[in-house]
Structure 1
Amino acid sequence: MSATDKPLLIKRYASRRLYNTETSDYVTLDDIAGFIRAGREVTIIDLKSGDDLTRQYLLQIIAEHESRGDSVLPVNVLTDLVRSYSTGVQSMVPQFLSSSFEMLRDSQARMMEGLGVLPNPMASMPGLEAFQRQQEAFLKTMMGGWPSGKAPAAADMPEAPAASKDELGDIKKQLAELQAKLSKL
């Protein structure tokens, strides 16, 4: 098992500071969120008591993102979660959520694989390969919040070739058509 396969151990000191045991430095909640978006599992423990605080800190990360306007959870979902704590349904909710996110990750992976298999009506268009690389980098960046997605480094982003306004308009039109087809899938 390599170092990146093992959960990253973060220790919380009495001062409430969070310490990354791999890099021997202090980290913030944003750093931890970045590790998770990059696909790392994270475990946060209290140094003094040994208690696992991972769940509390993950909820805090979610709450901070929601309060900044990065809303992912609709109010009705949050309301249902609160209700689940006061009913006997509580035992089913974690399994349901876990299964739902697993299906979402699998669907995203299949979608990314499917993009490479679809026949491409724009194959003869000049500059298509560079455009495809940019689109793939964009999709990977947008899906970077999921364990299967990783954001590319800025150096990996290809530069677009210079195109005339007519070519750019044609590309935009064809892209809109492809997006419409994809949304029907």
Structure 2
Amino acid sequence: MAESNKPLLIKRYASRRLYNTETSDYVTLEDIAGFIREGREVQIVDLKSGDDLTRQYLLQIIAEHESRGESVLPVDVLTDLVRSYTSQATSVVPQFLAMSFDMLRDGQSKMAESVGVMNPLSKMPGFDAMQAQQQAFFKAMTGGMMGATKPEAKTAPEPESDDLDDIKAELAALQAKLSKLGK
């Protein structure tokens, strides 16, 4: 079994194929994006030179999602990022972005905790299923980009299969609406 605190090592061969060293099989960019959404850290290295290619491939994953209309980054933010490469801001931007995402993750965790602890509705029948649906919705809305949230002390029971199908249908409808709004 692989240690989850160690990054998943992906090797890029000269043929540009990507090889998962844990499962001993070839993977795609979408597979790598899935590992990241599940909360795994990933490191991609060139087999021959040993160069770390992780940043290059993560940017490629983001570019592919953006080109398919799954826009997360507004044009203004992208423009500011491009400008930051040609100014003195390059020393500040990475720290600012890292701190912003850390604050977002912490805020998500605190919000999830407060909903479960302080909400009088938490004793209502079906509340756990509703909370699981909200978490699935939030994960779908962020595309899993924020990483895994901290595990809660107690886990919500799995919704029944019919409920899960309903949740998936609702999420698909909401994602379609959001895609239309973003265009």
TM-score normalised by structure 2 residue count: 0.76
Q: How far off its partner does 1:159 sit? A: 5.9
The answer (yes or no) to whether the contact 1:38–1:145 under 8 Å persists in 2 is: no
Match of 1:26 in 2: 26
Matches within 5 A, 1:123-142: 123=123, 128-130=124-126, 132-141=127-136, 142=138
Check conservation: 1:17, 1:26, Cα contact below 8 A.
Answer: yes
Q: What's the % identity of the aligned pairs?
A: 62
Residue identity in the other structure for 2:159:
M
Over 3 Å counting, the alpha-carbon distance change for 1:44 and 1:122 in structure 2 is closer
Question: SS state of the match for residue 5, structure 1?
Answer: coil
The match for 2:159 is 157
The alignment of Structure 1 onto Structure 2 pairs a total of residues equal to 151
The TM-score normalised by the length of structure 1 is: 0.75
Within a 5 Å distance, the mapping from 1:50-61 to structure 2 comes to: 50-61=50-61
What is the CA RMSD across the aligned residues, in angstroms? 2.2
After TM superposition, where is structure 1 displaced by more than 6 Å over at least 4 residues in a row?
A: none
Whole-Å Cα distance in 2 between the matches of residues 54 and 129 of structure 1? 45
CA distance in 1, matches of 2:35, 2:76: 29
Q: Quote the residue 2:148 is aligned against.
A: 148
Question: Could you say which structure has the larger radius of gyration?
Answer: 1
The within-5 A match list for 1:76-87 is 76-87=76-87
